[in-house]
Amino acid sequence: MATQVVMEALSPTMEEGRLVEWKKQEGEQVAAGDVLAEVETDKAVMELVARVSGVLLRQTVKAGQTVPVSTPVAVIGAPGEAVAAGNGAGAEGAKRAAGAAPAESAAGTPDRSQAPAAPPGPPPAARTSATPAPKAATAPPSPALSPSPAPTSAPGARVKASPLARRIAAEKGLDLHGVQGSGPEGRVVLRDLERAAPVPPPSAPAPRAAPLPGALQTATEPSRPAPAPSPIVPAGAAYADVPLTQLRKTIARRLVQSIGPIPTFYLTSEADMERVAEAREAMLDADRPTSGLGSEVKVSFNDILIKAVATALRQHPACNAWWQDDHIRYWADVHIGMAVAVEEGLITPVIRHADRKTLREIAAEARDLAARARARRLAAEDYTGATFSISNLGMLDIEEFTAVINPPEAAILAVGRIGPKPVEHDGQVALRRRMRLTMSCDHRVIDGATGARFLQTLTGMLENPLAMVW
């Protein structure tokens, strides 16, 4: 009997998807697990796979169409099997589905406009909120509460592993079933692969030739000069109407939800970055290879900032929180979202347990996530679950700005450029490399003094990097 293929919810917050490209054509044999099509969700381009084997009898949605979740898009059956009139959406049904207005999201996804879900685990009871929270799960336990590492997995069982560990294991040809995970709930992480066998360095952007003086190098920097943008309005035309992408729809919806209901206030501080710059230069000069990562992984200012923010949040857990309408959720673990500009807008991949990772681990993971974000190849777990976000425009020579909070997070940090500035130092006026930090705070969660103390700790760590390892 013929089986309908429907538009699946390929991410936790997906309500509709745009069918980018069919990978199988009508009349082709397919097996369960084969990729039928590529689908653009609200955050990434993902694969729609066949759940049964047979022949692709009909495509009921054309490439380029956007349809709600659960809409039939194809029919799979036996060779020569007739497709019943009601089996599949049909051309008219697909048109109606594509034109139907989707229901408003109960849990949108943030970047600037993104509300992350928590790391995998059983979801808590749903609660009604003026600012909808994502389908969140309990965070992995902190180190003091972590259970003993899980034993190695049996062959054929799915292994819990971080995306970076999976990719490096695939490049090295390592079987994750034979690796004992030391992460939360037995999750295999990069350090486990380092102990198992030498691991090749993850692909990193090619080093830039001489950055601009004082420019803030981040994981979101392009590795080569950006190509000249294509004209949006064709030559001779008065205007061009461009349909919204799934990502841009989510950004628009989440910005309205964030700016309107959230009582936001802003705190600005300035950090002396001389010692951080000297420490980074010393690390680059030493260029010591690290097992499993190698000398190709260069620590950027942004990597140091992520580590400093995560460490400061450990001392100020009141800022590591979500607003949940009738309660505040304080997280035991620190997961930092880093805003990455992509062609269609902005997305915020997550560095999990950033406070527990070394600078080189953060650098490798940040580059991997940023590269996959630009390629629209992030999995849902890569961009959901942040407890605090950072938006950095320093590389674009922006001195200072304010960022929009990613609900349900309680704060986001906006980072400006590092540049020379005449200031008083040791009783004299001197040129010092300085950086401005602006923290957007949800006043329902964070009071002014609470946010100010966090910024005071953060600037202290940046001005004395040794404070990060005390």
Residues annotated as catalytic are: 443
Which residues are CB-neighbours of 361 under 8 A, at least 6 positions away?
190, 191, 293
**Phi, psi at 253, each rounded to 5°:** -65, -45
Helices (H), 42-132: 90-99
CA distances to 232, 324, 346, 463 from 302, rounded to whole Å, are 32, 30, 17, 15
CA distance 67 to 72: 9
**Phi, psi at 278, each rounded to 5°:** -65, -40
Cis before 213? omega within 30: no
Tokens (6 digits) for 380? 């849902």
In terms of Cα–Cα distance, which of 44, 33, 53 is closest to 10?
44
For the chain, the helix, strand and coil percentages under 3-state DSSP, each to the nearest 5: 25, 20, 50
CA distance 386 to 333: 10
Longest Cα–Cα distance of the chain, Å, equals 88
